[in-house]
Amino acid sequence: MITMKFGGTSVGDAQRLCEVAAIVRSHLSRRPVVVASAMSGVTDLLLGTARLALERKKDEGLRNTEELRRKHLEIVMALVEPGDARDRLVREQGELIDKLETLFRGVHLLGELSPRSLDAIASFGELLSCMQIAAILEARGIPARFVDARPLIRTDSSYGEAAVDIAVSNDRIRAALLPLVESGVVPVVTGFVASNAEEITTTLGRSGSDYTASIVGAALGCSEIWIWTDVDGVMTADPRVVEGASPLGEISYREAAEMSYFGAKVIHPKAMQPAIEHGTPIRIKNTFNPSHPGTLISSAGNSSAKIVKNVTSIDKLGLVAVEGSGLMGAPGVIARLFAALARVGVNVMMISQASSEHNVCLIIPEQDCRRAVEELRAELDPELARKAVEAVRVRDSVSIIAVVGEGMRGVPGIAARTFTAAARADINVIAIAQGSSELNISFVVDQSEAHRAVRAIHDAFDLG
């Protein structure tokens, strides 16, 4: 058995959906379970329409629901033969969109849009999409069944990004899906959506369908989880930055996790967890190039291959530096800095402090810099007043360069090669960090030099 997840672009138009059907057909002997996202753009459209309803922009909202109706109807008319099955699908999709309009009207009337309501509204994208995928498969002679994942995947009530109760979910997933697969039916399971103990709809967070696929694949004991997307796999670098970037054949879970920022465009970082726990390999495959083997992510991950596997720049960041002699040997200062940032909801992406303890530098999203600095200055006000802390400085427009590979652990000289490459390209390194897992060397450069740095390191390690 395998689980196959198709993302928004893979189910985004009639031609792509024909591809999906062809892919499922060609792997029927593997007994596939399909997990799918909403058609591309639909989740954004739903959330956008909910906000329009809140702002009481009725006409724009109506235009959006009409677009939704048209978008799905067009697919059904193109891909499902006239007949009872089509009539039923059109009716059921129509009823869903009617229900959605009722919800929008509710938001409009109450002038209130809670995270709970947003989840209820967002869930319609996957319901509409999976309903039609099942019908399209059936229309092509592939026995298939639409499966609403909400009764199967149990979460807490953290609307917007709920936490999954794996034990409860596993039992339900097995009970619902195994009989279908055993009778030769392809279940088409809604990604992204779930429900809490009160059976109220929740979601697993944006791009959460990968996570659904991983939960389902692990629960069913699938031999592999295939994430179908629009690239040949995880690449050595962003192909828009490095011309010679190429897909990686195999990587380990740990490498995938270290690449999570870059890889997040390919797979949701959360999707790694259930797979790791069950030792289920994840394969990234390209719907536009289905015969390509893609990237296999597993515990082995081909450690004999290259030492460094991937180099990425994370752009649009800011560097906040806290400096002063009063930081030295003062326990609890770092805790206060992090607590202050947590209070204003700022995520720290990298931290570096040299052993002099004179300077702590934190890398955060650029758009959060102002908020972060204000809060840090307030927190450190007493220290600033007595000059124990000299300054809280900020520098905009920096990038993190992350160099990732399991093979670099215990191998001397990787940092030297990395920084020699940067130096040869005349790039100034502002700050450096490496976790003791030795899987990832990260350093900070000015954003204007970031892509040059990526290319230089990609070259230096012969990644192309």
> Quick one: what does residue 407 bind among ligand ASP, Mg ion, none, with the CB cut-off 5 to 8 Å set by partner type?
none
Point out which span in 12-20, 37-45, 291-299, 358-366 binds ligand ASP (CB under 6 A): 37-45
- Residue 130 contacts ligand ASP per CB under 6 A: no
Alpha-carbon Rg for the chain, nearest whole angstrom, is 25
Task: Return the residue of 3, 7, 97, 149 that touches Mg ion, per CB under 5 A.
Answer: 7
- Residue 206 contacts ligand ASP per CB under 6 A: yes
- Residue 324 contacts ligand ASP per CB under 6 A: no
- Residue 37 contacts ligand ASP per CB under 6 A: yes
Task: Return the residue of 123, 207, 236, 313 that touches Mg ion, per CB under 5 A.
Answer: 207
Count of positions on this chain that bind ligand ASP (CB under 6 A):
12
> Quick one: what does residue 191 bind among ligand ASP, Mg ion, none, with the CB cut-off 5 to 8 Å set by partner type?
ligand ASP
Task: Return the residue of 8, 12, 233, 324 that touches ligand ASP, per CB under 6 A.
Answer: 8
- Residue 294 contacts ligand ASP per CB under 6 A: no
Point out which span in 48-56, 90-98, 205-213, 311-319 binds Mg ion (CB under 5 A): 205-213
Question: Smallest distance from the beta carbon of 265 to ligand ASP, in angstroms?
Answer: 12
Question: Smallest distance from the beta carbon of 7 to Mg ion, in angstroms?
Answer: 5
- Residue 207 contacts ligand ASP per CB under 6 A: yes
> Which of 69/268 has CB closer to ligand ASP?
268
> Quick one: what does residue 38 bind among Mg ion, ligand ASP, none, with the CB cut-off 5 to 8 Å set by partner type?
ligand ASP
> Which of 192/228 has CB closer to ligand ASP?
192
Neighbouring C-alpha atoms within 13 Å toward the C-beta of 201: 19
- Residue 191 contacts ligand ASP per CB under 6 A: yes
H/E/C letters for each residue in the chain? CEEEEECCHHHCCHHHHHHHHHHHHHCHHHCEEEEECCCCCHHHHHHHHHHHHHCCCHHHHHHHHHHHHHHHHHHHHHHCCCCHHHHHHHHHHHHHHHHHHHHHHHHHHHCCCCHHHHHHHHHHHHHHHHHHHHHHHHHCCCCEEEECCCCCCEECCCCCCCCECHHHHHHHHHHHHHHHHHCCCEEEEECCEEECCCCCEEECCCCCHHHHHHHHHHHCCCCEEEEEECCCCCECCCCCCCCCCCECCEEEHHHHHHCHHHHCCCCCHHHHHHHHHHCCCEEEEECCCCCCCCEEEECCCCCCCCCCCEEEEEEEEEEEEEECHHHCCCCCHHHHHHHHHHHCCCCCCEEEECCCCCEEEEEEEHHHHHHHHHHHHHHCHHHHHCCCCCEEEEEEEEEEEEEECHHHCCCCCHHHHHHHHHHHCCCCCCEEEECCCCCEEEEEEEHHHHHHHHHHHHHHCCCC
- Residue 125 contacts ligand ASP per CB under 6 A: yes
Question: Smallest distance from the beta carbon of 371 to ligand ASP, in angstroms?
Answer: 25
- Residue 208 contacts ligand ASP per CB under 6 A: yes
> Which of 40/418 has CB closer to ligand ASP?
40
> Which of 125/217 has CB closer to ligand ASP?
125
> Which of 127/369 has CB closer to Mg ion?
127
**What is the contact surface with Mg ion in residues (CB under 5 A)?**
7-8, 37, 207
**What is the contact surface with ligand ASP in residues (CB under 6 A)?**
7-8, 37-38, 43, 125, 191-192, 206-209
